[in-house]
Amino acid sequence: MSKDVLKIIREKCSEENLSKLEALNNQTLLEFIAEYLELCNPDTIFVRTDSEEDTDYIRKKALELKEELPLTTKGHTIHFDGYNDQARDKKNTKFLVDESTELSRGINQVAKEEGLKEVKSYLKNLMSGKEAYVCFYCLGPNDSEFSISAVQITDSSYVAHSEDILYRGGYEEFKKLNDKDSFFKFVHSAGALENGVSRDIDKRRVYIDLSNNIVYSTNTQYGGNTIGLKKLAMRLAIKKASDEGWLTEHMFVMGTIGKNGRKTYFTGAFPSACGKTSTSMLEGEKIVGDDIAYLRKIGNEIRAVNVERGMFGIIKDVNSEDDPLIWRALHDPGEIIFSNILMTPEKTPYWLGKDGDVPSEGINYSGKWQPQKKDDANNEITPSHKNARYTIRLAELGNRDEKADAPEGVKVEGVIYGGRDSNTSVPIEEAFNWKHGILTKAATLESETTAATLGQEGVRVFNPMSNLDFLSIPLGRYIENNIKFVKGLNNPPKIFSVNYFLKDKEGKYISGMHDKHVWLKWMQLRVYGEVEAIKTPSGYIPFYEDLKQLFKEVLNKEYAREVYNEQFKIRVPENVAKIDRILVIYKEQVDDTPEEIIKELELQRERFFKLADELGDHVTPDILKENQNLV
């Protein structure tokens, strides 16, 4: 660098803030900070340690700069992103690639030299006139072999405040690095502001440098593009996990309570709008985390931690009946940031799907709002954005598990994969074994689109492990990593698939909204071998008698045999059609497909054909259990 590192930093901060950095004894860190202070050129910097005093400084700055506005309930604030800056920018989120980078076909990428030149040209002097926040966090619990240290430089107090809610403090963790470069780095600027929001959306970029563990984010405020430690860090962690022999997964972690208080921990991966949050937040169960998990093989067990300590949750349709735990937390005093919802004249939040009537006026992401307000393209502006969010610590929820911060994580007994499927998969099914589950349930995960969001209902989107958008390694290698992950374990976790969205011929859902709680309880019984199951060509399904008892115990609901037979009917043509769809993808669109997945899917297709030859295209479980020799 052209100037002395400490001189560059000293020019931007007080002696107190400089001493905070020097105390970390990490020259690599100082060089990183100096490089981007010189490039971005903020007027001053503030260094956030783990102290409550530093945290409070950023909270107050968010209000002072009006990046957040106070609401009536103590601790509640609201933040607005720009009208066209309220979702992840998939088009402009790219990997910086060189000759050593391996990615699957179709993943957004740009030549590293070209991308760095572009994003650094945008970052040059982009923080001029502002204060930058240098913040230290820990991905995963503190003092843990799961822990990954991270530093973010941002000129947004809203982003810094959000990260404080979402992530564990990492300043003290940095002291343990002993000048190592084993940390993630994030540089973000909201850019020039107009009416308090990012002006130059055409220069919005999110560029990921895997070789140096750096993510750059420019000219955007939306959390999914700016909160570096969330999905941006997930991409870095997937690569790191692959190199080191563990897994980074797009999964919740939850504890299910069984008889005599026995607790069993499950992880679960579901694409958007497939029931992930509603499963992890079932009343009476315990939540460790709702979104991202690290999994490691420790001894003879798979253990998992929640990467985060908070939730950046979609608030649309959160209501008192379906989401009682979240609903209560969102109405109690406590630290919560609402984003892109409607602020009523009484300074209370309103969101789409909230209990009660729609307010007659308020302020939202478009400014002053009234019903029937339209934008420049004559589109109606809803009172709250469909992707509106709430940011809250899990500690504010009544069902947070006591092991949520345990450095050793929790033992995983079961893994759940769920998709939106109207006509094929049964509501709950157990894989034959770990490998079968990864190849035929995880790697074949699909989710149907809905007419409300995309204008065409029933289009199946391929999303293996619900992680395709975030993969920073080739898909084939990712699948192989999952298969090999349990090598040497005596009793790997069981793998299950769930589908809450089966419909009858009239298009009505066959399962009730709360039936998922019964499926979860059945999974727990299967983990301990306490109920038998019926073998199908694709796994194991429940006996009617076991479900009837569980429906009574869990939901106090009668469960008819006719409903059971319709829910768990084996739909052979539909299953074969899915296998054929997936085989085309893996044979024609994936460059590094493991031969194992082709073989496993073709064997499963043959089992379906054999069943249909003997018993027909649609086979009820009552008939199937009498003909187990055919499976």
What is the set of active-site residues? 274
Q: Which residue blocks in 256-403 are alpha helix, DSSP H? A: 276-280, 324-331
510-537 CB burial, b ≥16 within 10 A, e <16: bbeeebbbbbbbbbbbbbeeebebbbbb
User: What number of other Cβ atoms are within 10 A of residue 363's Cβ?
Assistant: 16
Q: Chain-centre distance of CA 533, in angstroms?
A: 32
Residue 379, classified by CB atoms within 10 Å of its CB into exposed (0-12), middle (13-18) or buried (19+), is exposed
Give the 3-state secondary structure of 413-452.
EEEEEECCCCCCCCCEEECCCHHHHHHHHHCCCEEECCHH
What does the alpha-carbon distance between residue 196 and residue 381 come to, in Å, rounded to a whole number? 19
User: What number of other Cβ atoms are within 10 A of residue 590's Cβ?
Assistant: 20
Query: E strands, 13-92, where?
Result: 44-48, 69-70, 76-79
Nearest residue to 293 via CA among 307, 278, 276, 280: 307
Nearest residue to 327 via CA among 303, 305, 351, 347: 351
What does the alpha-carbon distance between residue 518 and residue 547 come to, in Å, rounded to a whole number? 7
What residues form DSSP beta bridges with 218? Answer: 189, 205
Cβ pair 429, 541 in contact under 8 A: yes
150-176 CB burial, b ≥16 within 10 A, e <16: bbbbbbbbbbbbbbbbbbbbbbebbee
What does the alpha-carbon distance between residue 169 and residue 613 come to, in Å, rounded to a whole number? 60
Report the phi/psi class of residue 353: left, alpha or beta, with left for phi > 0 and alpha for psi in -120 to 50. Answer: left
What does the alpha-carbon distance between residue 16 and residue 596 come to, in Å, rounded to a whole number? 58
Q: Enter the tokens of residue 207.
A: 């560029």
